[in-house]
Chain A
Amino acid sequence: MNKIVAIALREFLATVRTKAFILSVVLLPGIMIGGMLGMEKAQQFARSERMPPRVLAVVDETGALRADLEAQVERANAERPNQPFRLEWLPPGSADMAALVSRVRSGELYGYILVGPEAVEGAGGFTLGRKDNQLQAGRAIEEMVREAIYAVRFRVAGVDPARVAELRLRPVPVTELDGNTGGPVTSNEFARVLTPFIFMFVLFMGTFGIAQGLLTTVIEEKGSRIVEVLLSAVSPTQLMAGKIVGMAAVGFLLLGVWGGVGIAGARSYQITDIVTGYRLALAFAYFVPGFLLMAALLAAIGSACNELKEAQSMVFPLSLITVIPMVFWFYLAEHPASVLSVGLSFVPPITPFVMVLRVCADPDTPVWQIGGSLALLWASVFVAMWAAGKVFRVGVLMYGKPPSLVELARWVRYT
């Protein structure tokens, strides 16, 4: 037992002290936080960008919009003084597409607005042509024209548009509650949608990412011929157990750091409802067997190979399966109770990822599915450990050509 601890401790320290690990621990939360802060900063920065006035040619076939549209432009320019619009009024009926297009091309115009004659009545609207595809500018122009048309309509109907604007300005705030608990929910929809993915991604890094380390260290020990020295002191089973325990500790550390950052982040953004104790507990419950399964598979593969290259081609099928929840995460999170989602929950190597996605997306994930998938996962852990132990015992001292799957099966059967 002491020997397993000694191996685990060495494995843990050797991994934790590498630059790659330190970087990955710091980098990922760093990128996430940086991304969030960066978005806000980028928006501020975009607002302060100075642009010359963008000129829009207007051909107003209704002949009624001028005052209101000018008022709208004035309001928009007041909001974004660094990126103003200017209107150039052309007489109705003078729309010459070829001339407008060439003026836009030459850069003289940013775009043109052609308002149809029946726009106020509601038959036919307006045409907008512009130089680029910037979303924000397009929306702003559309809104200005629409608001101008509304204002004219109100006036025709005998309603004071200023009064309407004043009434509409009075806020109608909405308070969203968690339907299940009656407690508050995060107002940030983006964060809510992304949470299942983040949970899954962290779990993925903690299991597959860390267990990959086993693959590399086993191959390193084989390659540098340390393994036989080790095996004169400990049994292959002790060696494998120690390595897995050590790497599991690395995984815990990683999850601990990221989880801590996540909880602290959630507190500071007041979105604690998406990082609940229940979700953390479940993530943990799936992490342990999920990690052990990956670890057993990767340790066995590592022991059977002599070079990282060989190992990578053997890991490929496993990677292919683990990528499934990454690719379909949005579907799984949006349709957590669909047949596909439930089915994938019972595919052992990806069970943790799929289940964490589903549980985060749907608090009503049936208990039998949680219990059943955990039971299946643990059963596969025991089978994998048993088989991996056998492969490891043979493989770790085998040099030369890596075995085929058939040969691997033979090792399992005959040792």
Chain B
Amino acid sequence: MSDALVLEGVTKRYGQFTAVDDFSLRLPAGEVLGFLGPNGAGKTTTIRMVMSIIYPDAGRIRVLDHPNAAEVKDRIGYLPEERGLYRKMTVGDTLRYFGQLKGLRGRALRERIDASLERVGLQDWRRKRVEALSKGMSQKLQFICAVLHRPELVILDEPFSGLDPLNAGLLERLVVELRKSGSTVVFSTHQMNQAERLCDRIVLINQGRRVIEGRVNDVRARFAGRIVLIDGDGDLAPLARVPGVVDAHITSGHARLELVDGTPPNAVLETALRHARIARFELQRPGLQEIFVKLVGGDAAPAEPVVSGEAARE
């Protein structure tokens, strides 16, 4: 499978401020990538560079095997973070206009407008002006505007922000449908559970640098095993002295240990078995939420970016 999106050492500076710093990424076609990071991490800047709206100061970007997204605009669907619609235009005219700008014509255009409006439940709003729509409705309209031409690569910048759970659920289903139809999808979000549900891979960016990247399962697996939970009768205190344990919370009958990356939990288990009757031994698989908080929350980005999964092996 070829790569839909490749970034190599991409850097963007605004004066003294480095918005994106030596950022690399490889996204195989047909996968869904969650682009995670705190506010101001450089997500929108990166996405704008991918879209060739702004240009990197250093590094290389290939989009659908082209060096410049401008060459393949009609094959990309883009929903910017800062998005708007013509307030005085009708819903139908808006779709027709953006469809035309993406190279759709005639009957194909009309059919897709019908189908899209129906899919998001806006079919009765076709002749209404955009200014009459609620925020959720105009966000759905913006979404279908972005994917009306069935793009191979869909880039969504904060598509779920400000949506109620019902509409967010609908958009999630649409993203899943896009993936099923073979599109590659990149979306940025703050909501880790959403990323966990929808994404094949994630990339986490903080202060312009890539913090972690890989398949969701690999990322979680990589952090799994670093937290060990033990329940048991006996003396759990010696566990804190096991080589590789950096942090231990031990109460009577319960221990929560954090291990140095790469430490096999066997030594911990052996020590525990010697001192107590074990009721539970669990290598905790952290959610993305915890990983996010762990990597970003300390505000000290690791000196060496953590890479796991396929990307690390390449």
Contact = CB atoms under 8 A, between A and B. Distances in A.
Contacts of A232: 51, 53, 73, 76-78, 80, 146
Nearest to A5: B100
B53 to A, nearest CB: 6
Nearest to A224: B84
A8 to B, nearest CB: 11
A369 interface: no
A397 interface: yes
A225 interface: yes
Interface in B57-98: 70, 73-74, 76-80, 82-89, 97-98
Nearest to A397: B53
Contacts, number: 62
A182 B88 CA distance: 55
A232 B51 CA distance: 7
A14 B82 contact: no
B306 interface: no
Chain A interface mostly: helix
B80 A7 contact: no
B19 interface: no
A106 to B, nearest CB: 65
Contacts of A234: 73, 101
A7 B101 contact: yes
Interface string A227-255: 01111111100000000000000000000
A31 B66 CA distance: 58
A3 B102 CA distance: 8
Nearest to B155: A232
Interface string A311-343: 000000000000000000000000000000000
A225 B146 CA distance: 14
B101 A3 contact: yes
Contacts of B78: 229, 232
A229 B87 CA distance: 14
A411 to B, nearest CB: 13
A231 B85 contact: no
B173 to A, nearest CB: 23
A385 B170 CA distance: 45
A226 interface: yes
Nearest to B82: A225
Contact of B83 (A2, A14, A225, A397): A225
B190 to A, nearest CB: 20
B236 interface: no
A231 B53 contact: yes
A231 B98 CA distance: 11
Contacts of A224: 84-87
Contacts of B53: 228, 231-232, 397
A225 B86 contact: no
Interface string A1-15: 011001100100010
B80 A225 contact: yes
Contact of B85 (A7, A226, A233, A235): A226
B86 A226 contact: yes
Interface in A345-393: none
Contacts of A6: 97, 100-101
A224 B83 CA distance: 7
B152 to A, nearest CB: 14
Interface in A125-163: none
A85 to B, nearest CB: 62
A233 B100 CA distance: 9
Nearest to A13: B93
Contacts of A7: 101
B57 to A, nearest CB: 13
A226 B88 CA distance: 13
A233 B101 contact: yes
A233 B99 CA distance: 9
B157 to A, nearest CB: 9
A163 to B, nearest CB: 77
B187 to A, nearest CB: 15
Interface in B255-301: none
A229 B100 contact: no
B83 A229 contact: yes
B66 to A, nearest CB: 14
Nearest to B88: A14
B184 interface: no
Nearest to A394: B54
B245 interface: no
B145 interface: yes
Contacts of B103: 2-3
Contacts of A3: 100-101, 103
A3 B70 CA distance: 14
A397 B85 contact: no
B142 interface: yes
A14 B89 CA distance: 8
A3 B89 CA distance: 18
B236 to A, nearest CB: 56
A224 B145 CA distance: 16
Contacts of A10: 97
A229 B143 CA distance: 11
Nearest to B87: A224
Contacts of A230: 101
A233 B83 contact: no
Nearest to B151: A232
Contacts of B84: 221, 224-226, 229
A7 B86 CA distance: 13
Contacts of B74: 233
14 contacts: A3-B103, A14-B88, A14-B89, A224-B86, A224-B87, A226-B83, A228-B83, A229-B83, A229-B85, A229-B142, A229-B146, A231-B53, A232-B146, A235-B70
Given A2-B103, A233-B101, A234-B101, 6 more contacts: A224-B85, A226-B84, A229-B79, A229-B142, A230-B101, A233-B98
Interface of B: 48, 51, 53-54, 70, 73-74, 76-80, 82-89, 97-98, 100-103, 142, 145-146
Q: Which 6 A-B pairs have the closest CB atoms?
A: A232-B78, A224-B84, A233-B101, A225-B84, A228-B80, A225-B82
